[in-house]
Amino acid sequence: RKEVEQDPGPFNVPEGATVAFNCTYSNSASQSFFWYRQDCRKEPKLLMSVYSSGNEDGRFTAQLNRASQYISLLIRDSKLSDSATYLCVVGPYQLIWGAGTKLIIKP
Amino acid sequence: EAQVTQNPRYLITVTGKKLTVTCSQNMNHEYMSWYRQDPGLGLRQIYYSMNVEVTDKGDVPEGYKVSRKEKRNFPLILESPSPNQTSLYFCASIQRGQAFFGQGTRLTVV
C-alpha cells in the first residue's frame, strides 16, 4: 500500500463546476498536510496547507479527516487556469508525495 | 527573491559519462532534497540533507551521490549514468513543510 494515495484522474470538468478530490495517507502519526499544484512537468508549487479545522483560500477549500486518514480539496467555480495536477503531501519531517490527480477544466 | 536555482534545465548525455546537476538556494534553509519524477510515480526522493555535511538516502538513491559542503548548495552527481536514470529531476529547499523547488532538469541518458 502506498503511503499517500491519490486517484490519478484525469478529472474532466466543465468550466464553472465544482470539483473535489481526496487523498488518503497511511501513517496515522502524520502531522502536516499540504496541497501542491504542478503545471505540465514544471516544478510543484504550494497551493495551500491543510489545517485540522479545515481552511479556505478563495475558491479552494481543504479539509482533513484524521479518523479516516484523508484530506480533500474542493475547487468551486472552476476556471480554465485550474487545469493542472494536484499533489497531496504529508509531513512533517520527510515529505511524502502522492502521485497527483490530473484536473482538466473544459470550456 | 527567494529562489532555488537548478542547472542545467535540459541535458542529453551518454551512458557512463559522469555528470553533475547543481542546486543552489538563497533562503538559508537547512533541509534540501533531490527528487526524480517519472510518469505515474510521482515525486520520489533520491537523497536529502538536513544540514551542512549531513546527507542521507531517500527512497531511490542507487546510482546517485550528493554533497553538502555549504548550506546553499546541494549538487546531485551521477557517476556513471544509465538509461534508467532518464527522468525529470527536482531540487527542493524545505522549511516547515513548505518545499521550494528549482525549475527542474530534464535528463536523457542514451
| Chain B residue set in contact with A, beta carbons under 8 Å | 33, 35, 37, 40-45, 48, 88, 90, 94, 96-99, 101-104, 106
Say whether A97 and B97 touch across the interface (CB within 8 A): no
* Prior bond of B8 cis (ω within 30°): yes
Nearest CA in chain B to A41: B88
Average pLDDT over residues A3-18: 95
CA distances from B109 to B6, B9, B17, B22, B23 (A): 18, 14, 9, 17, 20
- Asked if residues A2 and A90 have their Cβ atoms less than 8 Å apart, the reply is no
Residues A5-24 have a mean pLDDT of 95
Give the whole-angstrom CA distance, residue A70 versus residue B88.
28
Q: Which three cell numbers stand for residue A75?
A: 475547487
pLDDT tens across the length of chain B (110 residues): 889 999 999 999 999 999 999 999 999 999 999 999 998 788 999 999 999 999 999 999 999 999 999 999 999 999 999 999 999 999 999 988 789 999 999 999 99
In order, the DSSP letters of B27-70 are S--SEEEEEEEETTTEEEEEEEEEETTEEEE-S--TT-EE--SS
pLDDT tens for A28-70 read 888 899 999 999 879 999 999 999 899 999 999 999 999 999 9
A103's grid cell: 484536473
pLDDT value for A1: 62
Instruction: State the residue for C-alpha cell 482533513.
Output: A64
Say how far apart CA B107 and CA B88 lie, in whole Å.
6
